[in-house]
Chain A
Amino acid sequence: MRGAKQHLGWLVALLLLVVAGWLGAHVDPNAYAGGRARDEQERLRRNSSALAAMLGEFRTSLSDIMFIKTERYLHGGVAYLPHMGDLAMSAEELIDEVDEHQSEIGLEFLDHDEEGDVPTIIPTPERDFRGWVGNLHREVQPWRDPTKAHIHTDGRDLIPWFRLMTRADSHYIRGYTAGGFWLNMADPEAALAFIEEGIQHNPQEFQLYVSRGFLLIREARRTGVTTSDVELEPEVAAILERARDDFRKAAQLALVKRPDDVDEEGFGSGGWGSYHENDALAASRMDILLTRRLGDPDLANQLAHRYANTFPEMLEMLQ
Chain B
Amino acid sequence: MRSAFHMAVWPIVRATVLEAARRKDIAVLAIFMVALLFVLGSARVVGLERPAAGTFLLNLSLTLIIGGAHLVTLLVAARQIPDEIEQRTLYPLLARPIHRSHVLIGKWLAACLMGLALFFSLFIPVWLLVPRLEHYETGTLIQLLTLQPMALMVTAAVPLFLTLCFPRGLAMALALLIVLGADYLVRFVDGFPLIWLVPNPSRLNMVLRYTDGIAPLSFWGWSALMLAALFWTASLLLLSRQLFERRAL
Contact = CB atoms under 8 A, between A and B. Distances in A.
Given A36-B52, A37-B211, A51-B53, A20 B203 contact: no
Interface stretch (B8-16, B56-64, B117-125): B56-64
A51 B42 CA distance: 11
B227 A20 contact: yes
A21 B196 contact: yes
Contacts of A167: 187-188, 190
B209 A32 contact: yes
B159 interface: no
B52 A46 contact: yes
B118 to A, nearest CB: 18
B196 A24 contact: yes
B211 A36 contact: yes
Nearest to B63: A60
Contact of A46 (B56, B196, B232): B56
Interface string A3-26: 000100110111011111111111
A29 B217 contact: yes
Contact residues of B: prevailing secondary structure: helix
Given A17-B231, A29-B206, A61-B208, A36 B55 contact: yes
B56 A52 contact: yes
Contact of B213 (A30, A35, A38): A35
A37 B235 CA distance: 34
A26 B198 CA distance: 14
Contact of A50 (B49, B213, B227): B49
A6 B196 CA distance: 25
Contacts of B187: 167-168, 170
Given A17-B197, A37-B59, A45-B50, A30 B208 contact: yes
A230 interface: no
Interface residues of A, number: 44
Nearest to B143: A29
A52 B196 contact: no
B43 A24 contact: no
B184 interface: yes
Contacts of B71: none
A84 interface: no
A24 B231 CA distance: 10
A227 to B, nearest CB: 43
A94 to B, nearest CB: 21
A193 B143 CA distance: 37
Nearest to B227: A23
6 contacts: A6-B246, A12-B238, A21-B199, A25-B186, A45-B53, A60-B63
Interface of A: 6, 9-10, 12-14, 16-30, 32, 34-38, 42, 45-46, 48-52, 55, 58-62, 167-168, 170
Given A21-B228, A27-B221, A36-B55, 7 more contacts: A20-B230, A20-B235, A23-B231, A45-B50, A46-B53, A167-B188, A168-B188
